[in-house]
Amino acid sequence: MINIVIIDDEEHCTNVLGNLIKKVHADYNIIGIFTNPISGLEFIKHTPPDLLFLDIEMPNLNGFKLLDKIQPINFDVIFTTAYDQYAIKAFQYSAINYLLKPITVKNMVKALSNWEKRRNKTSSEQWKILQKQLENSSKNYSQIALPTGSGYQITVIQNIVRCQSDSNYTFIFCKDQTKILISRTLKEIEELLRNHGFVRVHQSHLINPHHVKGILKQDGGSLIMYDEVEIPVSRQKAQHINEILETMIRFK
């Protein structure tokens, strides 16, 4: 009997994973499903599975940091991730199993088939290779899978003009005037997009500097974005924002 644990901070993802695993391998036993990575960590410390399905990007404790707290790792891991096609090479290069979101039956069959062929414990060297490769791939202007109420919307990162907080949700505004409401806080989005040059200019606003059309200096300062919307700049952020924009815009 193969024992499986699922850790993913998005409940609909854990539901999809659980259902697909049962559909593909009814003989596999799911012994734990966690949306809280810390709770999942404590569980697998005492009850290690044969196979862990683990999301990479999670608040408070991401997949890599979670695994760092479990040494040695005496089980196998299949990463579930919303990373784009550039990062697929990173997983392939490090020989680590992965599932790209949104997850399908076909992808699940392939992932479990690959795992069954290997059934080797993943080494610490493989984690290091994967982390290094993902860091390199994140520098490319690429795509991101945004979690919406109905699933995921694939968006080219550099087409995102700005992001605006709405309580525990975030509105994403794109160049083509698309407006996407996603189930992520602005802080989480900032962490995902920081390496792509996005800047938090205000408590409620994250912007792509490449889509700034103008700067207004009155009333503390604000930015005019590609979509003609005026975005306030907090006093604490003003100097930092100016330094960034000075490398892109010639001030008179």
Residues 11 and 127 in one domain: yes
> Average pLDDT, whole number, for the chain?
82
Q: pLDDT at residue 30 above 90? A: yes
pLDDT in tens, 91-124: 654 556 788 887 888 889 988 988 887 675 555 6
- Confidence band, pLDDT 50/70/90 cuts, at residue 151: confident
- Higher-scoring residue by pLDDT: 148, 15: 15
CB atoms near residue 117 (< 10 Å): 8
What is the count of structural domains for the chain? Answer: 2
Same domain (yes/no): 90, 162: no
pLDDT at 251: 41
99 and 224 co-located in one domain: no
Based on the fold, state whether residues 133 and 170 are members of the same structural domain: no
Question: In this structure, what token pair is assigned to residue 209?
Answer: 């500097």
Number of H helices, E strands in the chain: 8, 15
Q: Which pLDDT score, from 0 to 100, does residue 123 have? A: 57
Same domain? For 11 and 108 the reply is: yes
H or E element in which residue 193 lies = helix 186-193
- Tell me the C-alpha distance between 174 and 176, whole Å: 5
The whole-angstrom separation of Cα 99 and Cα 79 is: 6
For residues 161 and 186, membership in a common domain is answered with yes
To which H or E segment does residue 185 belong?
Answer: none
Domain extent at residue 236: 154-246
Give the separation between CA 164 and CA 170, rounded to whole angstroms: 6
Q: What is the mean pLDDT of residues 20-33?
A: 95
Of the three residues 107, 137, 167, the one that is the final residue of a domain is 137
Provide the token pair at 21. Answer: 């695993």
Residues 103 and 220 in one domain: no
Percentage of the chain surpassing pLDDT 90? 37
Same domain flag for 64 and 183: no
Q: How far is CA 102 from CA 4, 150, 152, in A?
A: 20, 11, 7
Residue 142 lies in a domain: no
Q: Would 173 be classed as within a structural domain? A: yes
3-state helix, strand and coil shares in percent for the chain, rounded to the nearest 5:
40, 30, 30
- Same domain membership, residue 132 and residue 39: yes
Lowest pLDDT segment from 20-24, 134-138, 204-208: 134-138
If asked whether residues 41 and 129 sit together in one domain, one would say yes
Q: Rounded to whole angstroms, how far apart are CA atoms 115 and 127?
A: 16
66 in the same domain as 41? yes
CATH number reported for the structural domain that contains residue 232 in this entry: 2.40.50.1020
